[in-house]
Each structure stands twice: as C-alpha cells, then as structure tokens.
Amino acid sequence: MYLFGAGTHYDIFKKLGAHPVVKDGQEGFYFAVWAPAAAEVYLIGEFNDWNETSHPMNRLEPLGVYELFVPGVALHSLYKYLIISASHQKLYKADPFANYEEKRPGNASATADIDSYVWKDTKWMNTRDEKDPRQQPIAIYEVHPGSWKRHPGPRENNEDGFYSYRELAQSLTDYVKEMGYTHVELMGIAEYPFDGSWGYQVTGYYAPTSRYGAPEDFKYLVDYLHKNGIGVILDWVPAHFPRDAHGLAEFDGSCLYEYADSRKGEHPDWGTKIFDFSKYEVKNFLIANALFWIEQYHVDGLRVDAVASMLYLDYGKQDGQWVPNKYGGNQNLEAIEFFKHLNSVVRGRHPGVLMIAEESTAWPAVTKMPEEDGLGFTYKWNMGWMHDFLDYMKLDPYFRKDNHNKMTFAMSYNSAENYILVLSHDEVVHLKCSMINKMPGYFSDKFANLRVGYAFMIGHPGKKLLFMGQDFAQLREWSEARELDWFLLGEEPHRQLHDFFKELLRLYRKYPALYELDHDWDGFEWINANDSYRSIFSFVRHGKSRRRNLLFVCNFTPMEYSDYRVGVPRKKQYKLVLDSDRPEFGGSGRPHEAVYMAEKSPCDGQPFSIAYPLSPYGVAVFEF
C-alpha cells in the first residue's frame, strides 16, 4: 500500500484483483480492491449464489484496500464487488484489476490464472530490445479483430460469428506474412461493453475482451504472431473511461478514479470520465496497466489514444467548462508528468517497446526524452501529413497544381519528431468514405490515384500504418458490425491494387533507404518539389551506407509524358525496381527499359538526368 500510494508499485496488478493462491493448504482465490470511501465491501458471485452478505471483505489501512481469501473458487467463476457507499448506496462493481470478464451483454468479472500459459517466443523476446526501432522497417496493419473476418451462417445463441483469438492467430498471421507487414495493431482488446465504441470506452483495463476467448487464448495469438516474426501493438486508452454503472465511474461512491470537479473530470462531447492524474494511485493504475500488457502479454507497443485530450484542459470544451492550471494556462500539468513517468518506466525497462502517441496538435517534443523536457514517446502519429495527403488526393487532378504544397509541407517539420504516417480507421468511417472512394475520377481512375498515393506514402519518410481493407480498396466504409468485403479480391482491379501494395511493402522491407534515416535530412533529398504545373514529385531516399538509394517519380495527373526528364545526382545506372504501369498492377502494360543510364544533361538543379516514359498517374522507382 505504501508503494501504491506513492505511485510506484509497477506490478500492483499482482496484488489487487483476483489471484489463485493456496492458504493453509486450501486452494482458492484472493480478492483485493481499492475502495477508500466505501463504508463496507462484500464479495458476491457464482461461488456464493450472489449472496450479498455472506462474504464481507476486510478493510486494510491506510489506503482503504479491502481483501478476502475464498477457498474452493473455480477458474472462470463470475464475481462482483458490492460496495456500500458512505451514503448507504449499493454499488455493484466489476473488478478494476480483473484479468477476465463476462462476455457482453453481461458485465461481471471472472476469475482467471494468467500465469499458467507457457510462452514459446523466447527468441523474439530476447532480441526485441537489442534493436533501435527507429532504424527498423515498421509497416503496421491496423486491425479490428471482430470485423476483420467472420464465420458465415446464421447467428445462434447470441453468437456473433467472431473468429476466436486462436483462429485469428492462424488466419491473421498468414495474411500479414503474405502482404509483408511487420506489425499488427489491434483495436479493442481491453474489455469494453459497447461494440460501437470500437474498444475506446474501456471498463476492463486488465482483461482481454472475452468476445474472442479467454486470456490464455489471447496469449496464444501474441505468441503465434511472434513466432512468425510479427510484432503486436495494442490500442491503449488512458484518457477517459465510460460512465457504465459497473465500471470505474464513482467507483466507491466517490470520484475515485476521475477528477471530482466535472470541469476537469468529464468530456462534454464524449460523455466520458477523465482520469484524475493528480492521484498517485490512479497514475499507478495506468502505468502498471501499460507494463501489464507488455510484460504479462508480451505486446511490443502501445498506441496511446487521444493524447491531445489529456494534454489540454480545454480540449473539446467551451469557456466555463474547464479550469486553468495553477499558472493560468490550458496545459494539464499532471497529465504531462504522467506521460513522462509512464514513458520513462516503460522505455527504461523495455527499450525495444514502441510507445506511440496519437497526438493531433503541434505540442512540442512529443518524442523527445523527459530529460530533454519531452514526453518520451517513441513515435507520434503524423496527423498533419494525413490531413494534407487526403485533402490533396480528394482533389480533381486539375486543381492539384494549386495545392502542391500539401504534399511537400510535411518535410518542413519532419525532423521535429519521430513520425508514423497513418491512414487509420478514423479516416474510413462516419461518411468520410473508404480510401478508394475518396479518389476522384471514373472507377479506373480511382485505382490509379490510389496506386500513386500509396507509392508516395511508402516513399515518404516516416514509418507506415494502414487500416485493414484499404490494401485491396474496400468500397464500403468500415463497420464494426460486419466483416471486410473479402469477395472484392475476386475482382481484377481490387486484386491488382492488392498486389501493388504487397509489392510496395516488399520494397519497403528490402531497401534500408526507406526506413533507416526516416527523421534525418541525410535520408531524404528533393529532386523536384516544385513541379506544380504537372503535379509530379520526384525525390531520393538514402540509407546510412548510401549504396542502394532509391529515386521516386510520382505523377498525380492523368497526363502521359513519353520522355519525362528527371534530374539525378550521379552519373550512374538507374535500375527500374517498381513500375506501376505493369499489367499485373492495372497499368497499360507498355514495356519499359530495365536500366536507364544518366546523361550529362542538367535538370532539376542536378548535373545529370534520365528520360523516362511516365504513364498517367504513373509511379517509377529506380535503384542507384
């Protein structure tokens, strides 16, 4: 309790919650819950037929932790805490530290033994911390497990057709390996009651959702991905939690986990509660939770949701709905300290683990270390690049010449942070259209636009993330209520785009120039950033050795150029390693030379140049 009260009991999840123990020769479960404002706490569950008075819990001071050992409790037994508040109100609460939860619509906690699983990913875990992630290829496949694939047929007994964790292990791994992604990012793993929240309103922070199986099944999924060389990132939501009666809200009759002042403790737009970062125990709950997923479930990274909402006291609020900090500003000083503490501990223990901030503003030094007055994240989602990129791609090609800077602006601040370029689930819902339907033109034009857009993304500095379904041009917006439209892969344009993106990922992993120096100007060189009239971009990517460099030429209009001349820095041979005009990618199939020799013909400020037949919406990548 001393360490918990100081905010430094980093494995408090081994004490609070429900744990199998042997006491006086009897097997059973030990239960413990933090509820300092409670007058009384009773343990109720299947083991006592939900009797509300038969199992009073013992209060421990000074923090108000209630504990009880119950012999004979079976694994996966449902239970709750009946909390009698100071005002004698009865509160039926799930366990904040439960390792397993009843499948919705039920909301009880369940006993579990998460230490019995035998891991087989020793090789992966032993090497994870040896590499600098900034110099590794990172291509993330963002997945909502419940709608990636579903079993066909009628739904009976309230079943949803979900793939189980163990079924996902095989199917998802096969797909990710085939495509060439390096990581999966899983949405909605921590338990949540409402499917439509996609997992962003969590009630069970220490429990993998029971929608897809038991805790040991989720461990199997992570283990299987690791054995196949694929990293696992989880969405993690420390910003807010829902008001559900069984959850954290007013847990012991007081505002235990949330700020008591509604101007600090509630999101008006989201209808959720905000964690009280001034309390050491609450910060401990969250920091230990991050370590729990990393150490108990071997996950390789956390994508931290809604960071901006935590940093700004006035986020989403009108005047009068927020309270300034002690200096009169809008920065949440307690949340800033929380992030520094969190990232110091996590990255100090696990240097190879990715801590990724979804931060949508220009907050400085998100990925600088706390010693440099940064927040300490490994990466930041580049939301600015995403907005500019999509704004440009939606335009009729005729108008792109007047918006050329949208595609070049991100390089002006690229070295400020360690970035991930993201085209996430948020961009293909709520009438925003799928990626393919954002593109202008006729049906065939849409695919050509998306090809050149994806190629630009892969060539641009920054790690990569793409949401499921967008690599084969899903036509419909994503919905959590149905599986992806996999049948589209039977149609030629979708299969061709799928193959093109697979080829982009192959190039990405093959050439260190595309990932070693993502955040360094030594790794990038504009050839022509100003060809706005023709809406063509050309640039070079360098690796540390500068031996296998790549020249990208991307044409964002339907105009054809039979001998487009592009400047090059060396009098070398330029080998064509990607040609979007190939018929298997949906191009015209016109044959191109395999190698182009640079000529002593200055162009684009370079001493040499090559001439290449650039097709409409064409992409050409050369190795030199």
Q: Which residues are catalytic?
A: 305, 358
Tokens of 506: 């192959």
**CB-facing half-sphere around the CA of 352: CA atoms within 13 A:** 16
Structure-token match 């996590």, residue found: 346
Residue type, 574: Y
**φ and ψ at residue 419, rounded to 5 degrees:** -110, 155
Strand partners, 477: none
Angle between helices 443-459 and 492-510 (to 10 degrees): 10
Q: 3-class SS at 156?
A: coil
Q: What angle do CA 318, 319, 321 make, to 5 degrees?
A: 70
Element (H, E) at 444: helix 443-459
Instruction: List, in order, residues 6 or more apart from 243 with CB less than 8 Å away.
Output: 249, 271, 272, 273
Structure-token match 């449902």, residue found: 78
For the stretch 422-426, contacts whose Cβ atoms lie closer than 8 Å and that sit 24 or more positions apart, written own/partner, are: 422/381, 422/382, 422/383, 422/386, 422/465, 423/386, 423/390, 423/457, 423/465, 423/466, 423/467, 423/470, 424/142, 424/381, 424/386, 424/465, 424/467, 425/142, 425/144, 425/187, 425/198, 425/467, 425/478
Strand partners, 68: 31
193: preceding bond cis by omega (within 30 degrees): no
**CA 459 to centroid of chain Cα atoms:** 21
Nearest to 380 by CA among 475, 296, 307: 307
CB of 445 closer than 8 Å to CB of 408 = no
Nearest to 159 by CA among 204, 211, 110: 211
Neighbours of 327 (CB within 10 A): 7
Element (H, E) at 168: helix 165-179
What whole-number distance in Å separates Cα of residue 469 and Cα of residue 482? 12
Instruction: List, in order, residues 6 or more apart from 540 with CB less than 8 Å away.
Output: 524, 525, 527, 549, 550, 551, 552, 569
Instruction: Provide the strand spans (E) within 387-441.
Output: 419-423
CB of 508 closer than 8 Å to CB of 621 = no
Tokens of 495: 């299969």
